[in-house]
Structure 1
Amino acid sequence: MQDLFDMQVKIINFTNKLLELCQKGTTVQQLLDVGYENLGNPLLLVDVSLCFMAHAGGNTIKNEPLWEWTLSKGYVTEEYVNSVMKNDIDQDWEKEHNPNSNLILWESGLLNHSQLVGRVLRNKQPLAYLKVLEYNKPITEFDEQMLITLCRFLSLKIGDSSENFSSTNPLVDSFIAALLNQKLYDHDAISERAKLFNLKLYDNLYVITIELNDINKNQDILYHLKRKLQNYFNRDTIIIYDEHIVILFDVKGENIFNENELALFNQLLKKHNCRAGISKVFHELYDLSEYYKQTITSLSIGSQLNSSERILNYNNFIVTHMILSFGDKTRLEILIHPIAKTLIHMDEGKNSDFFETLCAYLKHNQDVTLTAKALHIHYNTLKYRIRRIIKLTNIDFKDSELLFQIQLSEKVLKLIRQ
């Protein structure tokens, strides 16, 4: 009972000390120093992207390579990030100890010692992580309570100061959110706020919406990936909206990405197991909401088609979107042209490939050499099939409207089969 009483007094004194520091105008480093003095174990504070912010007592650590790496390099290794961002947090432990706790007890084979991680939250959104390494002495239940208290004071300090390295301009975030949910729709007001917030953009605008899969979708990972994308694209116009990461991306030229940039972006998405929908180009902030809807449509259609693509560009789904919208009102089969039906019926009866050949021929702009190469057949074999198709259907390859309807039929058939 005496030990319990002594520890409670220690926690009260610790809280009062933190409160006095905040009243005098403290720094994050001073709060950590007091934490180290009372907890007796090294402390390491990183932002939501797991980039170094401050530490206390970490200089004495000699046998924890990952801690030493962070202190010397200023950021956490990718392997360490993946360990922290896992979803298999011990929720039962958390509920048993304190259902309202912002603590996570995390133990990993990457470290030689146990580590207690406190989540620094503001309005239920993570600002940073405070790590206590069980290095000098065992971590006790009272240490857990003190860590929670320290996290709460850090939340106040980080949230109200320029030391919040993890966040961008909250006014810009709110501005973009207001454009997305159409609470701000007056052209003049939009222009005035863009100038007020010093939002200087190139003429060509795109929306990129990042969707995480359901397994990896939690607030910590969202904020971590948001920060990473801010660094990757060198843009502050990135917000978390409706469980997605939405990027207002401006470019000077006509194309959003070149081939190399597209490949690197695809690698980033694959690494974090997520997908991106990309809108058509637009030029006015007023239109942001409509083009955001294009990205959501792209992601939705990609899911419906079971697409394995990581980057889903709305330009490639315009016709598909029109077909699906039409399908809400009537049967899609009526869009299939009679020539397509004739060839498909012939293929099914004689095990031929006339419809596939015709589609490939149109796709390659009626170039016999390219089509034969794409179908892996001989040049003369293709010429024979084309003659047979003309004889069977009387198709006119100069009729652009007819050719469009046949290509449309191919897309409709793919949608029906899928």
Structure 2
Amino acid sequence: MINHIFVDQKVIGTMIVVESEKPFRETDSPIVGMIAKVLALEMKKNSFILYSKALAEEHFFKDLLDGMHDKGLVSEKLKTQHLVIKDNLYLLTIDISEFDRTYKTLQYFRELLDKMIFDCKSILYNDYIVIIIMHDNDIALSEAELERLTAFFKENNLYGGISRCFHDILDIRVHFDQAVTAAALSRRLKNENRLSFYKDVSVYHLLDLAAQKIDLKQLCHESLVKLIEYDRRNNTSYTQNLYQYLIHERNLAHTTLALHVHRNTLVYRINKIIEIIQVDLEDSDVRFQLLLTYKILDLLYH
């Protein structure tokens, strides 16, 4: 039997009662709940719990996320709490709205995440675990950290998002919104790694906002729609070939590696594609419109 202990609506502990001499009865559950509430009241009275450095930091970051913008007050809190904010900041948010709390607490997950990422602070905020990453360099996460997070997200069916880099802690709310958007798009686009950087999905965010005003299909380049229809009728894969060719900046060597085809085969396919869609791939504006169409279709049909 598990009961979480709350202080100021935050889980600060978990009480676990196990069967020993006899099995549980229906009347035991309310008693366990009452004991958890008594423990919470006692812990709230305890100045160590209420004013511990970790909890004070948590309240500070929560106030910032809630919109605290008084520079003087922020500066004073940083001094009194001996908080050192490094030059390069990133926000990682993990959507926990559908998290199953039956066997593991969010606090437990949060502690695991704290161990995975070097030099970070974390809080539970709304329906997210929010991790403030602070580095002297301009790399949000190392390859090892990314690998650990990806494995963790897959194992626990979670999605996360990382904001752009920022340098002023007062800008935390804007970058929280970026990270939340990236996490939502990671889920929507079925990102295999379950973790998206806002800088990589910001175009999708722009399109999502535009979709509230117009039908995105209006923005699609008609030639790509024509190529998709050709593939459907002839059981070919020219749409995918063109995409790889464009994202590899029309570099034949890189595209052949991505598609696992011979150079001559690729040249033939590109010429065939140009013949079908009748566009000038030397024109950068045309290439931009084609790539934008790929992103629109990706967003619409995921």
TM-score range, shorter chain: 0.7 to 0.9
Q: What corresponds to 2:231 in structure 1?
A: 347
Equivalent in 369, 374, 391 of residue 253 of structure 2: 369
Contact 1:360 1:371 in 2 (8 A): yes
Give the deviation of 1:401 after TM superposition.
2.3
Deviations 1:181-226 (A, max 9, x none): 21x1233332332233222021110111112362515796222222
Q: Deviations over 1:136-167 (max 9, x none)?
A: x66999999987776556445544447649x7
**1:169 partner SS:** helix
**2:297 matched to 1:297?**
no
Contact 1:204 1:283 in 2 (8 A): yes
| Length-normalised TM-score, structure 1 | 0.63
1:268 maps to 2:152? yes
Q: Which moved more, 1:333-342 or 1:320-329?
A: 333-342
Change (3 A) 1:316 1:234: closer
Q: How does 1:8-407 map to 2 (within 5 A)?
A: 106=1, 119-130=4-15, 154-161=39-46, 164=49, 168-182=53-67, 184-212=68-96, 214-217=98-101, 221-233=105-117, 237-407=121-291
Higher relative contact order (CA 8 A, sep 6+): 2
Larger Rg: 1
Tell me if structure 1 keeps the 8 A contact 2:159–2:186.
no
Q: How many residues align?
A: 301
Q: Confirm or deny: 8 A CA contact 1:126 1:220 kept in the other structure.
A: no
SS for the counterpart of 2:174 is helix
* Separation (CA, whole Å) in 2 of partners of 1:267 and 1:333: 36
Give me the CA root mean square deviation.
3.3
CA gap 1:134/1:343 in 2 versus in 1, 3 angstroms: closer
Deviations 1:312-371 (A, max 9, x none): 221221111111111111111121123323433433444433332221111112121221
- On the 8 A contact 2:186/2:195 being kept in 1, the answer is no
- Answer whether contact 1:204 1:251 (CA < 8 A) is retained: yes
- Distance across 1 between alignment mates of 2:157 and 2:131: 18
Deviation at 1:272, TM superposition (A): 3.4
Counterpart of 2:296? 412
Give unpaired runs (5+ residues) of structure 2: none
Provide the rounded CA distance (Å) in 1 between the counterparts of 2:28 and 2:203.
60
* 3-state DSSP of counterpart to 2:193: coil
